[in-house]
């Protein structure tokens, strides 16, 4: 079976983890935590990077640090992983769903103004599958209406807009290092910002609200959201090979497009000036029935796939007013992710494309 994803752990991961074990620094203190944070900040062109336990708590901390809470509304695409929206609920705020563009599958900026009201506090841009949202346009809107801007970069490590890394266009941004991400720590995340005050708030909150300069004195209600030294060790080793991972994923996407070009399939379209990191390579079929039949066919041929994210606005806890987002529903119902890990061989890609061709004969 060719899996949808498989991390590459053939660098310094084992050596660095063994250093943690040999030194006994296995919890949330140790050199790898600070080294990983600094290296990540440098790689992503950010001033401050705070490591955390996973991508979901990264979002929670970002919202808390901005002071978003009950009575506030946060605009977010429905076409996203559930964590983006759940984190808004964690702080007591209300998610307001926006539709996406049909070509890039990203938040449709042209629809935002109609959603603004006195309760709107922030826009959460989610860079789906490695393509970025239109951040220059979102920056302009956020400044005009005095809104906070948050980037969920969980799927977009390595993505750039005109040479500028995502995560640097907003007040605060978050990353995930789950096992299927381009850079993984097994479980882990990062909160990045250019603002020292926000970084200080995030670190205060993630460490149980411990007051700086005083032992075991906690002056706010905080959280245990810290990353372990072992996870950071894996992350640092992964980061050393990040350019290789990204270039391989970009080559993989290009090869998929070559092999599948003449079939009745649609791909995510890349806008001008974008460096797409291609976290996942995805295809759209004609309709949901065709998508499901193709997925079953590929499974029978030894190829694992997964559906695109289901629209969050249709899930029971969020389907309150039975909102319709036609583009989101149209794309989510027809799409699937193909195997997309950097260690894939051309023989694997040929096997997958042959299996898809067999389906369409």
188-197 per-position pLDDT tens digit: 999 999 999 9
Q: How many helical (H) and strand (E) elements, i.e. helices and strands, does the chain have?
A: 11, 14
At residue 359, does pLDDT exceed 90?
yes
202-257 per-position pLDDT tens digit: 999 999 999 988 999 999 999 999 999 999 999 999 999 999 999 999 999 999 99
Last residue of a domain, one of 240, 271, 295: 240
- Same domain for 221 and 308, yes or no, is no
Stretch 330-351: mean pLDDT? 97
- Same domain for 165 and 210, yes or no, is yes
Annotated catalytic residue 201: no
2 located within any domain: no
Whole-model pTM above 0.75? Answer: yes
- Same domain for 213 and 199, yes or no, is yes
pLDDT above 90 as % of the chain: 98
Determine the Cα–Cα distance for residues 78 and 112; give it in Å rounded to an integer. 13
At residue 200, does pLDDT exceed 90?
yes
- In terms of residue numbers, what domain contains 196? 13-240
Question: What's the mean pLDDT when you consider all of the chain?
Answer: 97
From the candidates 181, 201, 206, 248, give the one annotated as an active-site residue.
181
Q: Given the DSSP bridges, would you call strands 160-161 and 120-126 parallel, antiparallel or unpaired? A: unpaired
CATH number at residue 350: 3.90.1150.10
286-296 per-position pLDDT tens digit: 999 999 999 99
57 located within any domain: yes
Q: How far is CA 99 from the centre of its chain?
A: 18
CA angle (310 as vertex; 8, 341 as ends), nearest 5: 15
- Same domain for 46 and 149, yes or no, is yes
33 located within any domain: yes
- Same domain for 223 and 248, yes or no, is no
CATH number at residue 169: 3.40.640.10
* Contact criterion met (CB below 8 Å) for 27 and 229: yes
At residue 8, does pLDDT exceed 90?
yes
3 located within any domain: no
pLDDT above 70 as % of the chain: 100
115 located within any domain: yes
- Same domain for 170 and 104, yes or no, is yes
- Same domain for 30 and 144, yes or no, is yes
- Same domain for 232 and 252, yes or no, is no
At residue 321, does pLDDT exceed 90?
no
- Same domain for 256 and 206, yes or no, is no
Domain count, the chain: 2
Last residue of a domain, one of 240, 262, 282: 240
């Amino acid at each position: 079976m060719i899996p949808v994803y498989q991390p590459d752990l053939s660098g310094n991961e084992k050596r660095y983890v063994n250093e943690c074990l040999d030194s006994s620094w296995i919890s949330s203190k140790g050199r790898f935590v600070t080294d990983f944070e600094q290296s990540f900040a440098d790689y992503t062109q950010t001033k401050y990077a705070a490591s955390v336990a996973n991508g979901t708590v990264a979002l929670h901390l970002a919202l808390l640090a901005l002071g978003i809470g009950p009575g506030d509304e946060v605009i977010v695409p429905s076409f996203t992983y559930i964590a983006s929206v759940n984190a808004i609920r964690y702080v007591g705020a209300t998610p307001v769903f926006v539709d996406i563009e049909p070509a890039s599958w990203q938040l449709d900026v042209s629809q935002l103004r109609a959603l603004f009201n006195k309760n709107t506090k922030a826009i959460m841009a989610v860079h789906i599958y490695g393509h970025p949202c239109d951040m220059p346009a979102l920056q302009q809107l956020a400044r005009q209406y005095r809104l906070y801007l948050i980037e969920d970069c969980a799927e977009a490590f390595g993505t750039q807009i005109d040479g500028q890394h995502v995560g640097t266009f907003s007040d605060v941004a978050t990353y995930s290092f789950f096992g299927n991400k381009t850079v993984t720590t097994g479980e882990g995340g990062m909160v990045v910002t250019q603002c020292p005050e926000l970084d200080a708030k995030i670190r205060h909150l993630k460490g149980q609200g411990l007051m700086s300069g005083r032992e075991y004195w906690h002056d706010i209600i905080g959280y245990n959201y810290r990353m372990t030294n072992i996870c950071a060790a894996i992350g640092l080793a992964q980061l050393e090979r990040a350019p290789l991972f990204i270039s391989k994923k970009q080559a993989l996407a290009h090869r998929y497009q070559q092999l599948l070009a003449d079939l009745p399939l649609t791909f995510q379209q890349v806008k001008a000036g974008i460096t797409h990191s291609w976290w996942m390579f995805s295809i759209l079929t004609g309709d949901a029935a065709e998508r499901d039949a193709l997925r079953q066919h590929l499974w029978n041929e030894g190829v694992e796939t997964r559906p695109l994210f289901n629209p969050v606005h249709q899930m029971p806890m969020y389907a309150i007013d039975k909102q319709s987002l036609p583009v989101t529903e149209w794309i989510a119902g027809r799409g699937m992710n193909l195997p997309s890990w950097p260690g894939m061989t051309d023989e694997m890609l040929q096997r997958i494309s042959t299996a898809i061709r067999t389906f369409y004969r």
